[in-house]
Amino acid sequence: MLGLLPIVTLEVGLRIAGYRGTAAIDPYVDLHRLEPLFVSTGSVDDYQQFAIDDSRLHLFRLVRFKLPKPEKTYRVFALGGSTTQGEPFSTETAFPMWLQIRLRAMLPSRTVEVINCGGLSYASYRVRAICEEVLEYEPDLIVVYTAHNEYLEKRSYASNDAGLVSSLLRWPAANLRSAQWLGSRFRGSANRRQETDFTMMQREVDALLDYQNGLEDYRRSDTWMSGVVEHFAWNVQQMVEGCRRADVPIVFCLPVANELDCPPMKYELSPVLADDDVERFTKRFENAVELNSMGKSVEAMEQAMLALELDPQHAGCLFLLGRLAYAAGDFPAAERYLQAAIDNDVCPLRATSEIEAALSLVLETNDVAQVDAGELFAERSKHGIVGDQWLVDHIHPSVAGHQLLGETIADTLVASGQIKPEIANSDWQDREQDLRAAHLSTLGEDYYHRGKQRLQGLRLWTQGRAKKLRITPDTGLESLN
């Protein structure tokens, strides 16, 4: 115990001195190329104007705000990926907009601004960088929706036998004031280690599916999948700790995905199958598909089950079994198979069970407010399995779904005591109806038409049909394998 005395003394001294600590350096990847999202665009009166940098508008939508924050302003930053931005439509119908409308109805004396920082294809490590940045812009609340984009960019992870729970137990030490202060003294050497040992992430998103034949770069890899989950949990933990240091409330959304009506993006046979097993699996799976197309569901399920015995992680077979179980009315089995199909998708564009469990573990461990979008939509879906009724593709809610999510977040803020409506429920509900109608009247048919066009492009992207070539200055076309 005496050996810990210097550390305890340093920790107490730093807290008394008001040292609030700094953001931890990412121990998994090198992010030093990332740049701030917002830039100053000049001053007006006594305020400095900030906006998203023009160079980032291919991934973000333009938003502006002032510093210092004007009096009586309630400022929310909404962070995340394409769902936060409102894809395949845009920010005008994204859940942060419906959150803003309901908060404005509840707080008529305040200027409510919900600043949408959703970036296309942004994963948690990039979202965390934005979270650290916007904490400098006087937020009253941070809302985060992240989890689906964790597998989009190529990066390497070392094998970690400790597992997520053991790692989670280690992270609080990194958030001690003493650990951060000592770390800041040696940050230069840490940066040098990152440059040589870790995957160096590009300044902006460099998704595998942005390139020709990007789907081919995805292969089964348990080590990589586990590393992604641990890195994701670390990023969520850092966002929670950063908001706690800044005394800013944070709310996370647990993601929703299309289980019923979206097949796996890619499936392939286990590489350890013997040649004769490959032949047997292929025959059984093809028989199951053909029998299903002929309406012979019982026989199709028998063949699919036989195929699954040879390769229990085949996402295509799992999805087929899920659909067959759903059609047969066995909805618990259908949900299990359909979720397993997501978890074993070789190109996982939907958050896996491990990602969702890691998110829940960090939030519950830290007692962080959360809105479960998956549960929210499942409760309103036939037989409790989410499909095209609420989602327009594999992960993105419909406009009605965004409205439901945004308004539920507002209600969660009220239930948790973070927001107290200034007027009676009937009054703010009438006011919300007027605000909603006024907002929708500004959106013409062309807005929805553009969204439908983007949806078609997004579907081609998920199928690996992008046209971009990956070029390097020295070697030309780059192999990712």
Could you tell me which residue, 128 or 18, shows the higher pLDDT? Answer: 128
Structural domain harbouring 43: 22-155+198-260+349-480
Count of structural domains within the chain: 2
Asked whether residue 81 is domain-assigned, the answer is: yes
Q: Is cis: bond before 88, omega within 30 of 0?
A: yes
Q: CA-based angle 169:147:233, to the nearest 5?
A: 10
Asked whether residue 170 is domain-assigned, the answer is: no
Residues 126 and 245 in one domain: yes
Looking at the predicted structure, is the pLDDT value of residue 196 above 80?
A: no
Amino acid 186: pLDDT: 37
Nearest Cα residue to 137 out of 65, 85, 241, 245 = 65
Query: Across residues 450-461, what is the average pLDDT?
Result: 92
Residues 433 and 307 in one domain: no
Looking at the predicted structure, is the pLDDT value of residue 236 above 60?
A: yes
In 198-330, which ranges are continuous DSSP H helix?
222-245, 275-293, 297-310, 315-327
Query: Across residues 135-164, what is the average pLDDT?
Result: 85
Could you tell me which residue, 203 or 40, shows the higher pLDDT? Answer: 40
User: Which range has the worst mean pLDDT, 12-21, 72-81, 97-106, 334-343?
Assistant: 12-21
Query: Across residues 19-39, what is the average pLDDT?
Result: 82
Looking at the predicted structure, is the pLDDT value of residue 477 above 50?
A: no
Residues 93 and 219 in one domain: yes
Amino acid 13: pLDDT: 59
Query: Across residues 453-468, what is the average pLDDT?
Result: 83
Asked whether residue 2 is domain-assigned, the answer is: no
pTM: 0.88
User: What does the pLDDT look like over 246-259, one tens digit per residue?
Assistant: 999 999 999 999 99
Could you tell me which residue, 203 or 475, shows the higher pLDDT? Answer: 203
Amino acid 466: pLDDT: 63
Asked whether residue 269 is domain-assigned, the answer is: no
Neighbours of 384 (CB within 10 A): 15
Domain final position from 310, 344, 378? 344
Asked whether residue 60 is domain-assigned, the answer is: yes
Asked whether residue 70 is domain-assigned, the answer is: yes
- Quickly state the pLDDT bin for 220 (edges 50, 70, 90): confident
Do residues 440 and 447 make contact, with C-beta atoms less than 8 angstroms apart?
no
Amino acid 278: pLDDT: 97
Amino acid 148: pLDDT: 98
- Quickly state the pLDDT bin for 197 (edges 50, 70, 90): low
- In whole angstroms, give the CA distance from residue 411 to residue 251: 12
Residues 219 and 367 in one domain: yes
Report which listed range, 167-181, 205-219, 320-334, is most confident: 320-334
- In whole angstroms, give the CA distance from residue 365 to residue 257: 24
Query: Across residues 227-256, what is the average pLDDT?
Result: 98
User: What does the pLDDT look like over 68-117, one tens digit per residue?
Assistant: 999 999 999 999 999 999 999 999 999 999 999 999 999 999 999 999 99
Residues 339 and 430 in one domain: no
Domain final position from 311, 329, 344? 344
Residues 114 and 243 in one domain: yes
Amino acid 182: pLDDT: 45
Could you tell me which residue, 476 or 206, shows the higher pLDDT? Answer: 206
Do residues 100 and 110 make contact, with C-beta atoms less than 8 angstroms apart?
no
Amino acid 158: pLDDT: 64
